Amino acid sequence: MDSLLKTFPGKSRNWIKRALMRLGDVREVRENLYAVHGRRELGDWKLLYQVWYSEREGRWYCTCHASAFGFRRRRQICTHIAAVMLYRRYKKALEELENRRVYVAEAEVECPGRLEASGDLHVKPLVEKSGKTAKLTSFASLKYRIVVVSTRRYITVKCSGHVIYEAEGEEVPLAVAKFLVEKLHD
């Protein structure tokens, strides 16, 4: 909250909470133009507000400034504009996170106990196909297809505390790692 107070100097904690409550109401229409759904509980009179950035003037505008109350505060940032600014910051942070590099290892392992790994472990039990039916492999020694996503290059997988697999992970963007995890579960 303190960093937001620095971002929006002179605004109260209550004002910032109202701006944060609007985050889910922001929709990007096109570059530098946003729609913010109005909320009666936050004092809105309209169903929809438009927020846009003027490159020429270097500032944000909102249709709420066209009202009698808004005209008096047109030089100030309203909570609609603040929500758009926070939305853009959040979207940029997500994009940076998706482009972050991680390490991935895929393998088939056998483990009759508890699996654990030096990263996020994703597991899919393997099944044997005999004719038209499928059955799990022997209960005593279950086989799994695994994907491990880690921030560390060297990945270790343990079964009941004993190392059963070690590998140097392949460096990929986080988005690719998420795709591999989804593919595992298909």
CB 169 within 8 A of CB 178: no
- What are 146-183's pLDDT values in tens digits? 999 999 999 999 999 999 999 999 999 888 999 999 99
**pTM confidence score:** 0.56
Mean of pLDDT over the chain:
87
- Tokens encoding 162: 């004993």
The C-alpha atoms of residue 30 and residue 181 are separated, in whole angstroms, by 32
The C-alpha atoms of residue 83 and residue 44 are separated, in whole angstroms, by 14
Among all chains, which residue has been given the structure tokens 């390490």?
A: 103
Q: What is the pLDDT of residue 164?
A: 95
Report which residue type is found at 133: T
User: What is the edge-to-edge ordering of all strands in the sheet holding 162-168?
Assistant: 115-117, 154-159, 162-168
pLDDT class of 136 with cuts at 50, 70, 90: low
pLDDT class of 185 with cuts at 50, 70, 90: confident
The C-alpha atoms of residue 66 and residue 62 are separated, in whole angstroms, by 8
Higher pLDDT among residues 143 and 2, named by residue: 143
Please give the biggest Cα pair distance in the chain: 77
CB 171 within 8 A of CB 153: yes
Dihedral of CA atoms 92, 153, 123, 129 in degrees, nearest 10, equals 120
CB 88 within 8 A of CB 52: no
